[in-house]
Structure 1
Amino acid sequence: MTAVYINSAACISVQDTLNENFFENLQPAGAGQVLKAIEPVYKEFIPPAMIRRMSKTVKMSSVASSYALKEAGVENPDAIIVGTGMGCSQDSEKFLKNVLDNNEEFLTPTYFIQSTHNTVAGQIALGLQCHAYNFTYVNSSSSLEFSMLDAKLQVTDGEAEHVLVGSTDEQTERTMGLYELNKTIKKQEDLPVDYLSSTTNGVVWGEGASFFVLSKEKKDSSYARLKDIKITNRLDLEETQSFIEDFLAENNLTFNEVDAVILGFSGDAESDVYYTKAMDRFTDSVLLYYKHLSGEFNTASGFSTFMACRILKKQEIPEVMRINEVKKEGVKNILLYNHLGGNDHSLALLERV
């Protein structure tokens, strides 16, 4: 089967991930219930007249995708694939507010047109004048993984040479208020969060955009080889280890042969038990976590994929991500395991090039 390589990785997140030296400056996010992304100066990348009409997720994605394409040396990709859980929720909320405020009359269509989930992929294509395959996946916490899987198939089937793949999600005031009411977001009195041994339910919510260029061509600057992805919507707790074991076996690996595992501990006691269950078998692996750096959101796995790419390329592991004290002379492969609230479990295997 044709190998698929990740030739660039760009991320806008709660951390200053557009800064080349961010690796040394990673800081656990504060004690707030909601974490805001560190945004770039958009006017350096987007014409001011366009900025006013763009929601936050479109702006973040436009910049992150620009970084990814530039790093990969690709002017126009053969496909654009974006994964998002919430889409352009800012414009959705604005449209619904207009509906209520105007008694469903005399509505301008702009917010409605820009509220669709595929707005991000469409805006990127418009900016690039790219008429190639353009697709958006909306599959909760596995949206990026479905996008990566599609891109991998595009490359291996010879349909595309360079695919721009991304994930993005933004926060909105109304939705965050609803998340507080239904206890998705942690109560103020449960902060700060003990991510690895939390006894309370709920999460700290984040946001961000991560973009990658996947290609069949390996470069000296390539980050990693995307070996495989596996996704399941539902998983019983007792099936966790066999789910991972079967995936590793399909890739001729055992638990002991995985150099590093990045787990999506979110501080939600009810659903983090899946990660605890998974950890038990990785006795010889470097165990890492990341949502204390990014916050939880539908496409938080974009941040972990970005970090995995950096770890494989730099052969360095940030101390702030470590769960255990296992040391490795080199990191050849990394397994990423993520879910959201116990649903939509995904595994991704990246290999050093």
Structure 2
Amino acid sequence: MSAVYINSAACISVQDTLKDDFFKNLKPENTVQILKAIEPNYKEFIPPAASRRMSKTVKMSSVASQYALKEAGIENPDAIIVGTGMGCSQDSEKFLKNVIENNEEFLTPTYFIQSTHNTVAGQIALGLQCHAYNFTYVNTSSSLEFSFLDAKLQINDGEAEQVLVGSCDEQTDRTMELYKLNNTIKKEGNLPADFLNSQTEGVIWGEGASFFVVGKEKTETSYAKLEDIQIINELNLEETQSFIQDFLAKNNLKNNEIDAVILGFSGDSESDIYYKKASELFQNSSLLYFKHLSGEFNTASGFSTFMACQILKNQEIPEVMMINFVNKPEIKNILLYNHLGGKDHSLVLLKNV
């Protein structure tokens, strides 16, 4: 499977990533349990009547996709592929609440219709009047990676030339309550969180939407070459290094040829051990982390992919992301390693264009 190019990148996150100067104004957060995305003024992008009927994740995705398409100079993509872990969970909760409060009678179907995971990809297509291939992947923390894989297949098979690929996840009150009860979210007493050397379980939860235009050809706006992706559902700790080494060997790369490694340290002591094991392989590379900027959520890798694109294009690493202080004169290869709670491990290799 040949490489494809990431020709645009847009992100709505807990950082102000829609602003041009966000790269120099990244603010880490480790003192609260839940991080809210900084949302744009939706009136500038979506008609108010339509916006009122949209959930937060649909609105975030609609705006991020508009930014990505505009940057790539594309009006209508050849395919729309979206990855999400939780989908439109706000509408799901509203529907279930209606079921309980109305004793399963006289239910309005709106919340149910809008609660399905593929609502995001569908709404983007409706807005664009795009009748092309439209698909949604729901694979917890590897949802975006599966979407990228599909995009590569579409392009390599000659089915598409420009593909809109995105990821999105929102927070809901009830789900956050449940995450606190089962210790997915860090207890208040364990804050502020130590992301790199945590002694406590749980994470700080975030949200966001990231969209990219992936193309067959390199363009003036290209950020990176999407070289390869590897995904595995379960991984024993002692298999971590061989998982990474085999991936690099497949791409004819040695450890010291990886200029930067972005690791998904989340502050969860039980699952961060995988990242510590992985970091041992890259003593001569810039080691970076990102979830102190984005929070943990199913598609947090969208934020790390967005940041990797910015790093490759600007040839600059924000100091706030650095674990060590190894600085390469040129950043050619970036490896992204992520998982969620020790499940669904993914590797993404990006190359400078």
TM range (shorter): over 0.9
**Alpha-carbon separation, structure 2, partners of 1:333 and 1:257:** 7
Question: Residue 3 of structure 1: CA displacement?
Answer: 3.2
Shift of 1:217: 1.3
Matched residue SS, 1:60: helix
Shift of 1:156: 1.1
Identity over aligned residues, as a percent? 79
TM-score (norm 1): 0.99
CA contact (8 A) 2:30 2:193 kept: no
The one-letter amino acid of 1:134's match is: N
- List structure 1 runs of 4+ shifted beyond 4 angstroms: none
Q: How does 1:40-189 map to 2 (within 5 A)?
A: 40-189=40-189
Contact 2:3 2:228 in 1 (8 A): no
Q: TM-score w.r.t. structure 2 length? A: 0.99
Alignment partner, residue 318 of structure 2: 318
Aligned to 2:235: 235
Post-superposition shift, 1:325? Answer: 1.2
Q: 1:29 Cα shift?
A: 1.8
Deviation at 1:329, TM superposition (A): 0.5
For residues 56-113 of structure 1, the C-alpha deviation after alignment (integer angstroms, 9 at most, x for no partner) is 0000000000000000000000000000000000000000000000000000000000
Contact 1:263 1:289 in 2 (8 A): yes
Give 3-state SS (helix, strand or coil) of 2:288's partner. Answer: strand
Q: Between Structure 1 and Structure 2, how many residues are aligned?
A: 353
Aligned position for 1:200: 200
Amino acid corresponding to residue 41 of structure 2 in structure 1? V
State the distance in 2 between where 1:352 and 1:269 align: 33
Aligned with 1:204: secondary structure?
coil
Q: Distance in 2 between matches of 1:342 and 1:263?
A: 13
Backbone CA RMSD of aligned residues: 0.6
2:23 partner amino acid: F
Partner of 1:214: 214
Gaps of 5+ in 2: none
CA distance in 1, matches of 2:215, 2:281: 33
1:244 & 1:218 partners in 2: Cα distance? 27
* Pairwise CA distance, 1:220: 2.2
The residue type equivalent to 1:55 in the other structure is S
C-alpha deviations, 1:302-347, integer Å up to 9, x for none? 0000000000000000000000011110100100000000000000
CA distance in 2, matches of 1:66, 1:41: 14
Alignment of 1:16-31 (within 5 A): 16-31=16-31
Look up the match of 1:223: 223
Pairwise mapping of residues 246-325 of structure 1 onto structure 2 (< 5 A)?
246-325=246-325
* Preserved contact between residue 140 and residue 344 of structure 2 (Cα < 8 Å): yes
Residue 140 of structure 2 contacts residue 299 of structure 2 at CA under 8 Å; is this kept in 1?
Answer: yes
User: Retained in 2: the 8 A contact 1:260–1:286?
Assistant: yes
Per-residue CA deviations over 1:135-173 (Å, capped at 9, x if unaligned) read: 000000000000000001111111100000000000000
Deviates more, 1:166-175 or 1:217-226: 217-226
